[in-house]
Chain A
Amino acid sequence: MRNLTGLLFAGGLGFMLLAIASGIDFGTPPMRIGEAIQSASPQEVGAANIVTSVVLGYRGIDTLGELAILFAAASAAGLVLGRRHTTTGTQRKGGFVLFHGGALIFPFLLTIGFYIIFHGHLTPGGGFQGGVILAAAFFLPLLARPGARLHHSILSVIEAFAGASFILIGLAALAEGQAFLQPMLNQDTLGSLISAGTLPLLYIAVGLKVGAELASLLSNLAQTESEQ
Chain B
Amino acid sequence: MNNLVLTIALPLLGAFLLPVVMRLSQALGLWLGPIILGYGCWLLGNLWFNDITLPLSIALGGFDAPYGINLYLDSLALLFAFAVQLLGLICWPYVLNQDTARRQALMLLLVAASTGLALSGDLFNLYVFYELAAVATFGLVVASTTSAAYAATFRYLILSGIGSVLTLLGIALIYSQTGTLNLAHLAQLAPELLHDRLGLTAYLLILIGIGVKAELFPVNAWVPEIYATASSRLSGFLAGLLSKLALLIILRLLVLIFDQPEAVQIILILGILGVISGEFAAWRAKDMRRMLGFSSIGQLGIIFIALSLPDERGLLALLALSLHHLVIKTGLFMLADGWGGSLERLTGAAKRSPVGAALFTLFALSLVGVPPLPGFWAKFTLITELAAQSEPLYLIGLLVFLLATVIETSYLFRIVAKLYSSAETTTEQPEYQHLPGLSLATASLFGITLLAATVLIAPIGDGLQAIAAEAKNAELYIQTVIPVTPGGQL
Contacts and interface: CB of A to CB of B under 8 A. Distances in A.
Contact of A76 (B68, B106, B112, B176): B106
B176 A57 contact: no
Give the top 3 A-B pairs by smallest Cβ distance, nearest first: A76-B139, A30-B179, A163-B16
A182 interface: yes
| Majority secondary structure, B binding face | helix
A181 B61 contact: yes
Nearest to A37: B67
Contact of B142 (A59, A69, A76, A164): A76
Contacts of A36: 67
A32 B180 CA distance: 6
B67 to A, nearest CB: 6
A33 B67 contact: yes
Given A32-B490, A58-B68, A174-B5, A72 B61 contact: no
Contacts of A153: 23
Contacts of B63: 44, 57-58
B9 A170 contact: yes
B418 interface: no
Interface residues of A, number: 55
Interface stretch (B127-135, B322-330, B458-466): B127-135
Contact of B59 (A59, A72, A160, A179): A179
B273 to A, nearest CB: 16
Contacts of B136: 72, 76
A76 B125 contact: no
Contacts, number: 164
Contacts of B13: 163-164, 167-168, 171
Nearest to B173: A20
A68 B17 CA distance: 12
Contacts of A76: 106, 135-136, 138-139, 142
Interface in A1-56: 16, 20, 23-24, 29-34, 36-37, 40, 44
Interface of B: 2-3, 5-6, 8-9, 12-13, 15-17, 19-20, 23, 58-63, 66-69, 98-99, 102-103, 105-106, 109, 112-113, 116, 124-125, 128-129, 131-132, 135-136, 138-139, 142-143, 145, 150, 173, 176-182, 185, 189, 197-198, 201, 490
B151 to A, nearest CB: 13
Interface string A148-179: 00000100110111011001101101100011
Given A66-B128, A153-B23, A183-B61, A71 B109 contact: yes
Nearest to B130: A65
A65 B490 CA distance: 28
Nearest to A32: B179
Contacts of B15: 68, 71
A167 B103 CA distance: 21
Nearest to A20: B201
A16 B180 CA distance: 24
A23 B196 CA distance: 11
Contacts of A60: 60-61, 69
B16 A180 contact: no
A104 interface: no
B488 to A, nearest CB: 12
A179 B67 contact: no
Contact of B12 (A23, A64, A82): A64
A170 B138 CA distance: 28
Which of B3, B62, B132, B145 gathers most chain A CB within 10 Å?
Answer: B62
Nearest to B204: A16
B178 A156 contact: no
Contact of A62 (B9, B69, B103, B185): B69
Contact of B197 (A23, A83, A174): A23
B20 to A, nearest CB: 4
A75 interface: yes
Contacts of B129: 65
